[in-house]
Amino acid sequence: MLRFITSRFLQSLLALFLVISATFFMVRFVPGGPFTAEKAVTPEILRNLEAHYGLNKPLWQQYLDYLGSLLRADLGPSFKYPNRTVNEILLDKLPVSAELGGISLAVALVIGVTLGTLAAVKRNTWVDYVASSFGMIGISIPTFVVGPLLVLAFAIHFGWFNASGWYTAADRVLPALVLGIAYAAPISRLTRGGMLEILHQDYIRTARAKGASETRIVLRHALRGGLLPVVSYLGPAVAGILTGSFVIETIFQIPGVGREFVNSAFNRDYTLVLGTVILYAVLIMALNLVVDIVQAWMNPKVRLEG
């Protein structure tokens, strides 16, 4: 098990290094720099600005400097917000995105697992059909259609919620619901598939023969195995919720990391772009690692294959 974790950890580190390097060189080779938009910058001031941020050094030197400061967990100064560091900006925005992502994931899991389990237990009844159609609809209608539709209905027409903003608890409802439903759909399908397979197993029959109640069989015996496909989907789901939040944060005007990332790319704010990409990559890889470990813990077969 330790060997398994170590090898996955090293693999994540390698991937992280690749992400950092690829992004670093990509942002440097693009046409246009962070200061091109500013009007009336004399060549002299431009030189001073570049010297201030170390942009006049050779590229490899900048790359090594950047890697060095990363080791000290310093993402550097922002180019567009003078006086602010990337660390400050991201720490400012991260709690918002984390809250949105966390609630959405909880919504997705609760709705998805409940519907999927019901569909599997009541296979080929109307419950199954309703739950399965919900899954298909949820997969097919994108968040950027569902989001505006819900705003149109519940914020503008009925006036129950604010159409945008992130101030009161009620402001969390629509964004988290939109993002959560999008991932509840695949989770419900995976749960249904996994549960159907498990409910046919011998050990379930044994439990039945011993007279365990149906609820106990489902909750105690079947769910652990039946949720395996869901656990392996959690990695991609979390990554999707993170990037999905770009759209949600745009629609609902939520001051999170996603919106900042898109803006920073437009502004050519190199360090902020890099910092955001690194933040996302670290989050996604850490979660993937956790998912791998949980999966290994749940399923000895995966653990042994390493």
Partner 1 sequence: MSTTSAPALAAALSEPIEKGNSLWHDAWLRLRKNQLSVFGMIALTVIAFACVIGPVLSAYGYEEQNLDLGASPPSGAHWLGTDTLGRDLLVRLLFGGRVSLAVGLSATFVALTIGVVYGAVAGFFGGKRDAFMMRAVDIMYSLPFPIFVILLMVFFGRNIILLFVAIGAVEWLTMARIVRGQVMAVKKMEFIEAARSLGFGRRRIIFRHILPNIMGPIIVYTTLTIPGVMLLEAFLSFLGLGVQPPMSSWGVLIKDGAEKMEEFWWLLIFPGTVFSLTLFSLNFLGDGLRDALDVRSSKD
Of the candidate residues 20, 23, 179, 296, the single one contacting partner 1 (CB under 8 A): 23
Kindly determine how many residues on this chain lie close enough to bind partner 1 according to the rule CB under 8 A.
50
**Residue span binding partner 1 (CB under 8 A) among the ranges 58-66, 100-108, 170-178, 189-197:** 189-197
Which of 117, 88, 81, 106 shows the shortest CA–CA distance to 221?
117
Closest CA to 62 of 51, 47, 49: 51
Could you tell me the smallest distance in angstroms from the CB atom of residue 254 to partner 1? 14
Answer for which of 119, 174, 237, 281 binds partner 1 (CB under 8 A) is 281
Is residue 5 involved in binding partner 1 (CB under 8 A)? no
CB of 278 to partner 1, least distance (A): 10
CB of 250 to partner 1, least distance (A): 7
Regarding 184 and contact with partner 1 (CB under 8 A), the answer is: no
Confirm if 285 and 15 have CB atoms less than 8 A apart.
yes
Structure tokens belonging to residue 195: 């549960």
End-to-end CA distance of the chain: 8
- With CB under 8 A as the contact rule, the residue among 250, 293, 298, 302 that binds partner 1 is 250
- CB neighbours (10 Å) of residue 134? 19
Contact partners, residue 262, CB within 8 Å, separation at least 6: 246, 250
156 forms part of the interface with partner 1 (CB under 8 A): yes
Q: Among 246, 149, 135, 148, which residue's Cα sits nearest to residue 182?
A: 135
Separation CA 148–CA 162 (nearest Å): 12
Tell me which of 67, 136, 219, 290 binds partner 1, using CB under 8 A: 136
Is 193 among the residues that bind partner 1 (CB under 8 A)? Answer: yes
Q: Left, alpha or beta for 213 (phi > 0: left; psi -120 to 50: alpha)?
A: beta
* Cβ proximity to partner 1, 1 vs 153, nearer residue: 153
Say how far residue 23 (Cα) sits from the centre of its chain.
19
The correct pick among 120, 190, 207, 227 for binding partner 1 (CB under 8 A) is: 190
Tell me if 304 contacts partner 1 by CB under 8 A: no
Question: What are the angstrom distances between the C-alpha of 20 and each of 53, 132, 135, 139?
Answer: 19, 41, 36, 32
Residue 85's DSSP bridge partners are 77
Structure tokens at 241: 């919720």
Q: Which position among 75, 181, 251, 254 is part of the footprint of partner 1 (CB under 8 A)?
A: 251
Binding partner 1 (rule: CB under 8 A), the pick from 98, 148, 164, 303 is 148
Q: Which region among 11-19, 39-47, 90-98, 204-212 touches partner 1 (by CB under 8 A)?
A: 11-19
Q: Which of 199, 242, 257, 272 binds partner 1 (CB under 8 A)?
A: 242
List the structure tokens of 72. 């000290």
Q: Where along the sequence are the contacts to partner 1 (CB under 8 A)? A: 11-12, 14-15, 18-19, 22-23, 26-27, 30-31, 136-137, 139-142, 144-145, 147-149, 151-152, 156, 186, 189-190, 193, 229, 235, 239, 242-243, 246-247, 250-251, 261-262, 265-266, 273, 277, 280-281, 284-285, 288
